Chain A
Amino acid sequence: MMHSLNKHVRMLTAGAAMSLILMAGAPAFAETPADTLVEGWAIDDIISMDPGEAFELSTAEVTANTYSYLVRLDINDTSKVVGDLAESWTVSDDGLTYTFKLKPDTKFASGNPVTAEDVAYSIERVVKLDKSPAFILTQFGLTGDNVAEKAKATDASTFTFTVDKAYAPSFVLNCLTATVGAVVDKKLVLEHVAAVTPSAEYKYDNDFGNEWLKTGYAGSGAFKLREWRANEVVVMERNDNYYGEKTPLARVIYRHMKESSGQRLALEAGDIDVARNLEPGDFDAVSKNAELATTNAPKGTVYYFSLNQKNANLAKPEVAEAFKYLVDYDAIGSTLIKGIGEIHQTFLPKGVLGELPENPYKLDVAKAKELLAKAGLADGFSVTMDVRNTQPITGIAESIQQTLAQANIKMEIVPGDGKQTLTKYRARTHDIYIGQWGQDYFDPNSNAETFTVNPDNSDEGKNKTLAWRNAWDVPAEWTAESKAALLEKDATKRADMYKDLQKKVLEKSPFVVIFQQTEVAGVRGNVKGFKLGPSFDTNYVFTVSKD
């Protein structure tokens, strides 16, 4: 009797197991289609595809591949810009008016011709919508009231842009290479504008197509955007109306994958062609695999920690200096950020005009103890650090915790989600914050401003730079020097001014810059021409092809 039961159970379980195995099918070798590039990438930061609104790093890359601009950064020499839709440009003698002559016979993906009207409309909507990245243009004195005058089409192929001060031309042109400079198809966007009831906060009667462009597309880039599904996929297709050379690939797909180890597995199996978020361990394994290649490029993001000057201990200048000696830069560089970053202690990233490749600080506990004694804190003190739960930030925070302990400073790590720590940071209620700062646009002013300008250090201060967030009352003459550098026409002199500022910040500021991010990617062997650019919006895939 037991015998018959046994058989029954055995048959059932074995049957279930067998069917599972059989249905899974014979081994299949995954390969992506020859005309399609598939990238595994964490794209959960994307919140809008509208170039007038998007300010996220992933979106910047997609925008750069799907839209054309007046000018672009020269990726071979980032101190220069090259024309994209603009054939040539001139700057008036007073340094206020920029006149752009457009290339003839360029078309949007929709088939509409690109005219100076479109350029003017693109800038108008950025300024009037006034979303996150709008300040990149409005810092030139543009407002909703004057934008029609300041950014206008003088004829179908001539666009003039008027700024309020005689800025360094490199500054103005660099800002136009940012994604807010993307040119949208006015005719197409106008078909999709939604009516808005004007209010005190927003005084226009339409949304300039913002709602539609969040997921829509109206560009003239090498690729056109086919689809974005949040946390799933971004699909770009070849734009046959592109004025330049047609892309070898018909399609590029960014597939949302959060896990580094998952990306590595999929890359090894050939289900993706490029893995974009490899952590040091996985990157190392990929670089040892003969079928795969790796590539990397330094990016304009620096990682730092900063001391809130509202904390009486942290406000002492000797303490700030001591902290710079209490970081084990060598250990961090050789382990935690191996392959994904390099030690860098000045606020301007490598590759930007005025970079200062000086890393004077080393771990020196004795020196730090001396400084702390001078500050009357020989016995140390207790302090907290807000740390977001991601690598390498957590690892670096733990390393700093250990080295601080050697000088009797007890640092408690307060872990949190990124948005949580940032909320606290912006409210200036942290002790120490560790995080990264990415350039808003490819110009030294972006970082110089945030690290050295703080005109009003009260809680009500309007200009909420990093200096303000840490309640650091920047010496007035530093702020003045930073502003003066904006107007310096001579690029060499301008670079020298930023070098000088960096030296000062390096010595006497509550910022401890640790390293500059290196972006890495693992690439399948049959992918040709994949290159990471010098900034997040220059990771072009126009020229990539596959064997």
Chain B
Amino acid sequence: MSIPETAPTAGRSRARANGWVKSVLRFLVVIVTTYLGLLAVTFFIGRVIPIDPVLAVLGDRAPAHVVERTRELMGFNKPLYEQFYIYVRDALTGNFGTSVLTTNPVMADIRRVFPATLELATLGTIIGSLIGVPLGVLAAVKRGSIADQIVRVVGLVGYSVPIFWLALLSLLFFYAKLRWVAYPGRIDIVYEYSFTPITGLYLLDSLWQGQWDVFRDVFRHIILPASLLGYFSLAYISRMTRSFMLNELGQEYIVAARAKGLSETRIIWGHALRNAAVPLVTVIALSYAGLLEGSVLTETVFAWPGLGLYITNSLQNADMNAVLGGTIVIGSVFIAINILSDLLYRTLDPRTRAR
């Protein structure tokens, strides 16, 4: 099934180069407008919420004259357009300021909390895909059977049950009753001061340093929240896999493959899934990006010091520097994952490779 290669001509390669320039330009425009939009929206939200941002800096009990002085110092008495200008200027120079909640530079905070979310989301997505895809395939192949029904119910439950409830219930069962998993946070306090993370991804770091007991402990902390997140992405992934597979299984090439006498395993896993994989990548990437935003409720219940918790806390406290920084990071993650899935799309789908 190879596409016949014609000899490249000079005109064609110029056209292709032009195409590249165009797509790069288009890409840049998209990025710039996305970022400006992000900045405008965060700024706007930050100014319309009925919370006095000075309260975040000073806490609830500050006397009035201190509040006034701080408002002056923070520039909240300036006109709005001037505040927006300062805000954009600082963001463009990579200065996200200092978080008033933690007193650290926002970027330092995010470097600390993001790996926690990254590790959790990655493991969650791996679990979700490893289980979700086969389940979806099973449901499609045995359409209408008991197995299909079960997969659908599992998906429906994953979709509709509130995550904090399931989180608490699973804590009660796996942690309090069975003692299989550890809680709270990412690591036991016993290791907190003997283990020095390098990348901030504790699983990798402990493996790298050969600290098996730490690895085990970290794993026992992460597995329950990751499985929960995995379950939720599984619900989505298996449903989409099922419909993509049904679509592929109805195609003529499947009939052709069957006629050729290929084994059913080969047809399903080698042909149908291969083609269904193309849109599936986008689905998985989107659910991964969703998890990377930080699952606020899961992070709250598991006392997981991640990005979701950080941004929510900051937003509630009107700590706008931190909210801005967090939003930019999430925006960047979304853009990066979109590019990645685009690239994967091209590799997986030969039609998008050459025009």
Binding site for B on A (CB under 8 A): 1-2, 4-5, 8-9, 12-13, 16-17, 20-21, 23-25, 27-30, 32-33, 36, 38, 40, 44-45, 47-48, 55-56, 130-132, 134-135, 201, 214-215, 229-233, 235, 253, 255-259, 261-262, 265-266, 268-269, 271, 416-420, 422-424, 426, 438, 440, 462-464
Contacts and interface: CB of A to CB of B under 8 A. Distances in A.
Most buried by B among A23, A24, A36: A24
Contacts of B264: 1-2, 4-5
Given A201-B72, A231-B305, A258 B300 contact: yes
A135 B63 contact: yes
B22 interface: no
Complex A-B, nearest 3 residue pairs according to Cβ-Cβ distance, in ascending order: A1-B264, A230-B102, A132-B62
Interface in B209-223: 216, 219-220, 223
Nearest to A438: B61
Interface stretch (B129-137, B284-292, B347-355): B129-137
Interface string B162-190: 00000010011011101111111100111
Interface string B122-165: 00000100110011011001100000000000000000000000
Contact of B61 (A48, A55, A416): A55
Contact of B183 (A9, A32, A271, A440): A271
A255 to B, nearest CB: 7
Given A265-B183, A419-B56, A423-B51, A8 B265 contact: yes
A265 B172 contact: yes
Contact of A12 (B51, B100, B134, B309): B134
22 contacts: A4-B264, A5-B268, A24-B181, A28-B179, A30-B182, A32-B189, A33-B190, A48-B103, A132-B62, A132-B63, A232-B185, A253-B192, A255-B303, A258-B300, A258-B303, A262-B183, A262-B184, A269-B175, A419-B60, A419-B318, A423-B51, A423-B55
A282 B50 CA distance: 33
A135 B58 CA distance: 14
A214 B180 contact: no
B313 interface: yes
B213 to A, nearest CB: 11
Nearest to B300: A258
Contact of B55 (A30, A131, A253, A419): A419
B269 interface: yes
A4 B220 CA distance: 35
B64 A259 contact: no
Q: Could you say which interface size class chain B belongs to?
A: 35 or more
B51 A24 contact: no
B317 interface: yes
Contacts of A56: 59, 61
A426 B52 contact: yes
Given A132-B66, A262-B303, A231 B263 contact: no
A135 to B, nearest CB: 5
A9 B72 contact: no
Contact of A261 (B127, B131, B168, B216): B168
B185 A255 contact: yes
Contacts of B138: 5, 9
B101 interface: yes
Given A33-B189, A47-B58, A132-B61, 11 more contacts: A1-B264, A4-B265, A9-B138, A24-B181, A30-B188, A131-B62, A132-B58, A230-B102, A269-B176, A271-B188, A419-B52
B256 interface: no
A411 B286 CA distance: 45
Interface string B70-108: 001100000000000000000000000001111110000
Given A16-B130, A20-B127, A132-B59, A423 B185 contact: no
B345 interface: no
A130 B75 CA distance: 19
A129 B316 CA distance: 27
Contacts of A2: 141-142, 264
Most buried by A among B49, B58, B102, B220: B102
A63 B155 CA distance: 50
Instruction: Give the one of A9, A256, A438, A464 with max B CB within 10 A.
Output: A9
| Chain A residues touching B, majority SS | mixed
Contacts of A201: 69, 72-73
Contacts of A4: 263-265
A149 B146 CA distance: 87
Contacts of A131: 58, 62, 66
A247 B40 CA distance: 53
Nearest to B309: A231
A135 B66 CA distance: 10
Contacts of A229: 102, 305
Interface string B267-288: 0110000000000000000000
B352 to A, nearest CB: 29
A422 B60 contact: yes
Interface in B246-271: 263-265, 268-269
Contacts of A232: 185, 305
A265 B103 contact: no
A81 B253 CA distance: 89
Interface string B34-58: 0000000000000001111001111
Contact of A28 (B60, B168, B220, B317): B220
Nearest to A55: B61
B134 A13 contact: yes
Contacts of A16: 127, 130-131
A24 B219 contact: yes
Contacts of B66: 130-132, 134
A536 B57 CA distance: 21
A524 to B, nearest CB: 14
A36 to B, nearest CB: 7
B65 interface: yes
B179 A47 contact: no
A475 B175 CA distance: 59
Contact of A24 (B142, B192, B220): B220
Contact of B64 (A5, A134, A464): A464
Nearest to A129: B66
A273 to B, nearest CB: 11
A231 B313 contact: yes
Contacts of B130: 12, 16
Given A262-B303, A265-B171, A423 B220 contact: no
A417 B183 CA distance: 28
Given A230-B101, A419-B317, A464-B63, A255 B55 contact: no
A20 B227 contact: yes
Contacts of B142: 2
B337 interface: no
A25, A38, A201, A463 — which one has the most chain B CB atoms within 10 A of its CB? A25
B59 A257 contact: no
Given A13-B134, A262-B171, A47 B101 contact: yes
B328 interface: no
Contacts of B65: 462
B180 A25 contact: yes
Given A419-B51, A420-B50, A426-B52, A259 B300 contact: yes
